Amino acid sequence: MKTRLTELLGIEAPIICGGMMRVGTAELAAAASNAGALGVMTALTLPTSERLRAEIEKCQSLTNKPFAVNLTMGVAVTQINYDDYVQTIIDSGVKIVETAGRSPEPFMERFKANGIKVIHKCVAVRHALTAERIGVDVVSIDGFECAGHPGESDVGGLVLFPAATSALKIPVVASGGIADARGLVAALALGCEGINMGTRFVVTKESQVHQNIKQKVVEMDETQTRLIFRSYRNTSRVYRNSVADQVAELEAQGADFSQVHHLVSGKNQEVAWTTGDVEAGMITIGMCGGLINDIPSCRELVQNIVTEAKQIINERLRTIIATSPAGDVNAA
């Protein structure tokens, strides 16, 4: 499959394995890239720039295909020296960066001077337009269905994706609510150049997430996520467990963030991801978990999506367009 995204990034399939905190390891990124997609490591999973350098080197030893490093801007809970992380990415020879959170504008000049393509994740068209103006190469736009932070506008992908592609000149990647070939075909029909999947790549063999978490996603339906942090205007979509319910109840009582932090701490999240205890902490999963029913390898996942997408386009969609012998669609 060839789109502006595959041409720009040098990948085979218009699919990105989005950067995910604690999940975007070298192993997963390399597996996704080797499968023909774009794998993405997550920089802030590593506590220091030196550790990031070592993880990038590991990824480079596992694949000779393009991969990206995710750098989320404006994380306030810890002091992060972004200059060091950016310099490590540059010195390591990485040529694709996925940014999220705040604007990457302070680092764009350095990225561009070193031939780095920038994919910026947004949740609204107005933010996407700003990203285009400052020179990012691709916008990945998150619909309301996504895991993590969908923003505060509550606009689903069916509206948000075509709104973004109508407004922007640069390639747009659809993110949120996509887990299979149907999502890819729909995104392409809405004007996007590819898709970004997080939850779907969590549930793969190469993902370092505990098997019990993967199995819970396989068993869930589309109603088993919950929005929390709404009262703090930092909305997050997570798997609906006892922690999510407790946080939502405390918010309804007017609790401030300091009163829920112990429930959603990174330490508790780490316990959940690594031990498989789904009640240990906050688990970031999107609504598309309801569409996931197996645990394939990254190669199987990407190949199946591309193959099935071609079948949908070439078989199902073509049969819908009925024509008369003279070729008049309106005569059907």
Q: Is the pLDDT of residue 325 over 70?
A: no
For 16-26, what is each residue's pLDDT tens digit? Answer: 999 998 899 99
User: Distance (Å, rounded) from C-alpha 49 to C-alpha 53?
Assistant: 6
Place of tokens 């103006």: 133
Architecture of domain 4-207+296-318: Alpha-Beta Barrel (3.20)
Q: Are 142 and 154 in contact (CB under 8 A)?
A: no
Domain residue spans of the chain: 4-207+296-318, 221-275
User: Distance (Å, rounded) from C-alpha 141 to C-alpha 160?
Assistant: 8
For 176-228, what is each residue's pLDDT tens digit? Answer: 999 999 999 999 999 999 999 999 999 999 999 999 999 999 999 999 999 99
User: Distance (Å, rounded) from C-alpha 38 to C-alpha 14?
Assistant: 8
For 56-104, what is each residue's pLDDT tens digit? Answer: 999 999 999 999 999 998 765 457 889 999 999 999 999 999 999 999 9
Q: Are 298 and 31 in contact (CB under 8 A)?
A: yes
Chain centroid offset of residue 232 CA = 23
Q: In the chain, what percentage of residues exceed pLDDT 90?
A: 89
